[in-house]
Amino acid sequence: MSINTASVNPTDHITKPLRVVVLVSGSGSNLQVLIDAMHAGELPIEIVGVISNRDDAYAITRANDAAIPVAILSHVANGKRMGIQTFEKHASHQLKAWQPDLIVLAGFMRVLSAAFIDNAPAPMINLHPSLLPAYKGLDTHQRAIQAGERHHGCSTHVVTAELDAGTVLTQALLEVTQKDTADGLQARVQKLEHQLLPWTVALLAKGVLSLNHEQTHNPQSAFMPTLPLKLYLDN
């Protein structure tokens, strides 16, 4: 699948806004960054929906405040947490209704099946708090400190059935100091996330990056650097 970047008018290079759906589980600070950039005209996107797997996620409030449709897929009729198969069934139906060009996992904390990913109506990218392929999974900041890493950061990558293993598109990194704690490093990396995610979405929306099979598996070209594209940010 490839991102739709068809021009509305070839003479003035105005592109059709990228239709984006965001999957969330928590506070939604990265969702808010995308909302703010969209409203400011800094990103050529339209967030057409948000899916949350938790009914207490503050991201829901952020979406409601921005008048963005929300699907909350948290519990079933008996009050128990929705199983992953049930979640995927309802999420798949909602995604097909919204017809996004891109699906963004931003702080989404459920592992999705290969069938769901392969049958989604658009490519998926995930924002992960480490410099992949290092530190897949959870507790990335504490693990980086314990390993004595000199650099740490965050990555965006294509979502595949294998956890945090898809092609890495972009990364933002910073230096780890002796004073860093896991909580402090998490706060510093989150600032990077708030810059990396909209930058990546902008590259996709403008066609600088593509999520088609050929590029993600053979990303070199005569004029583009090898993936992942990296930002070094001193914060």
Q: Are 22 and 106 in contact (CB under 8 A)?
A: yes
Tokens 């066609």 correspond to what residue? 207
Assign 8 to helix, strand or coil. Answer: strand
Three-point CA angle 227, 118, 66, nearest 5°: 80
For residue 80, with 0-12 CB atoms within 10 Å meaning exposed, 13-18 middle and 19 or more buried, which class applies? exposed
Return left, alpha or beta for 122; rule: phi > 0 is left, psi -120 to 50 is alpha, else beta.
beta
Tokens 């990913």 correspond to what residue? 117
For 203-230, b/e burial (b = at least 16 CB within 10 A) is bbbeeebbbeeebbeebeeeeeeebbbb
Catalytic residue among 75, 128, 141, 157: 128
Helix, strand, coil share of the chain (percent; to 5)? 30, 25, 45
Q: Is residue 128 flagged as an active site residue? A: yes
What are the residue numbers of the active site? 128
